Structure 1
């Protein structure tokens, strides 16, 4: 669903943009030099899952301008369900010592998504929209982390919002060009962060928050594994969208 390049350190398809054995990843991550920033560990350890998500056929076809606006609308609907779950944490976890620093009002996307969906589907856009099974599973996992494991929620927060700030901007540009939306206007407002005038600086500060997480090595490894899971959940959503909107021969 959004995303960023591995070079920038942000997910590309977390915008809803087979690995080595878990044991192998655990050893390589925990054996990394103690001075390696956690933001670097989480980026490099999830690179394979990130790449798989961003190379999905649906995302490739959408970014290539080969799909109709109905596919983009359906994709945006799925994002809405995910962000309803993601942003339910704002009141619940705002004072949590792990999650609290990441809860930033300038990141909130639900209102922008609803404005985009009203543009795409009219004032009655809520009527009849449904989550794909993969989307429902994705949202349920986020809600589970909000409820039971705040540190795991950080993994989902990272893959989504840093992705939206990075590769999500590629999706915005494609949508404006392919379906004629006004630049940064209705239809693509989800990708416009008016409260973040300097995305590069914001992402640097975000990575510093990751580096400062008060977690031991085993808990950090669990967060890394959850990040991989978040990308896998994104990939599953893309797969089902691809089945619903196959590219015509």
Structure 2
């Protein structure tokens, strides 16, 4: 029988691929969009991580979500440094969430406040993705727009407190395998994981509409 971490990965594979191969992300990674699109994307991330991390410490004692509340993963301070670099010191004044982003953040916040197991689903889809595929985005941004390696502009993708990402991801999967949930609740987590990827894809779709490639 597959472990829960394996089940989570395989069951959400289709939605994960759809998010990764969205037109917006393909154009961004392919160098066909400018730094303005990257900055707008970074703004949208701020809303999602604000929902994920603000008040997360209140889940620290929860038997299901508590083991996943790891301060070394928190991204908000790094996102805010990146936004100050990309948008200037008054970046908050121009911050705005796309409707798709607001819907995503609202769902994350709802899970954080009302359903700890659902919070785990969103935690998994965000942080393990940041530790893995996020490094491709960091490398592209550094090359395309001249950001210092792991410096301002790409700090979101730099986990300074995690010395060995591969070992950390193995430990994280062990936490998933040990999650305190029965089989029905695990299936609900899988469903929420798929929903998280779909919500993320909707953000990419909205960004793609905001930053369409000009026809030749």
- Under TM normalisation by the shorter chain, which class is it? over 0.9
Q: What is the distance in 1 between the residues matched to 2:214 and 2:149?
A: 28
Alignment match, 1:48: 14
Moved more, 132-141 or 88-97: 88-97
The structure with more helix, counted as a fraction of residues: 2
Moved more, 110-119 or 81-90: 81-90
Q: What is the distance in 2 between the residues matched to 1:186 and 1:88?
A: 22
| Superposition map of 1:123-142 within 5 A | 123-142=89-108
Instruction: Choose from 142, 164, 167 the match for 1:198.
Output: 164
Indicate yes or no: 2:33 matched with 1:67. Answer: yes
Unaligned runs of 5+ in 1: 1-32
Q: What is the distance in 2 between the residues matched to 1:142 and 1:85?
A: 6
Q: What is the distance in 2 between the residues matched to 1:90 and 1:141?
A: 14
Instruction: Choose from 136, 147, 150 the match for 1:184.
Output: 150
Q: Secondary structure at the match of 2:194?
A: helix
Q: What is the distance in 2 between the residues matched to 1:173 and 1:42?
A: 27
Q: CA deviation at 1:147?
A: 1.3
Contact 2:56/2:112 (<8 A) preserved: no
Contact 2:57/2:69 (<8 A) preserved: no
Name the TM-score, length of structure 2 as normaliser.
0.98
| Superposition map of 1:1-249 within 5 A | 33=1, 36-249=2-215
Q: What is the distance in 1 between the residues matched to 2:117 and 2:106?
A: 16
Q: CA deviation at 1:152?
A: 0.4
Count, aligned residues: 215
Q: CA deviation at 1:129?
A: 1.3
Moved beyond 2 Å, runs of 4+: none
Q: What is the distance in 1 between the residues matched to 2:181 and 2:27?
A: 39
Q: CA deviation at 1:91?
A: 2.0
Contact 2:25/2:204 (<8 A) preserved: yes
Structural RMSD (CA): 0.6
Contact 2:141/2:147 (<8 A) preserved: yes
Q: CA deviation at 1:95?
A: 0.8
Q: What is the distance in 2 between the residues matched to 1:214 and 1:108?
A: 23
Unaligned runs of 5+ in 2: none
Q: CA deviation at 1:89?
A: 3.9
Listed one character per residue, the Cα deviations across residues 56-85 of structure 1 (whole Å, up to 9, x for unaligned) are 000000010110100000000000000000
Q: What is the distance in 2 between the residues matched to 1:157 and 1:93?
A: 12
Q: CA deviation at 1:39?
A: 0.1
Q: What is the distance in 2 between the residues matched to 1:89 and 1:222?
A: 23
Q: CA deviation at 1:206?
A: 0.1
Q: CA deviation at 1:221?
A: 0.3
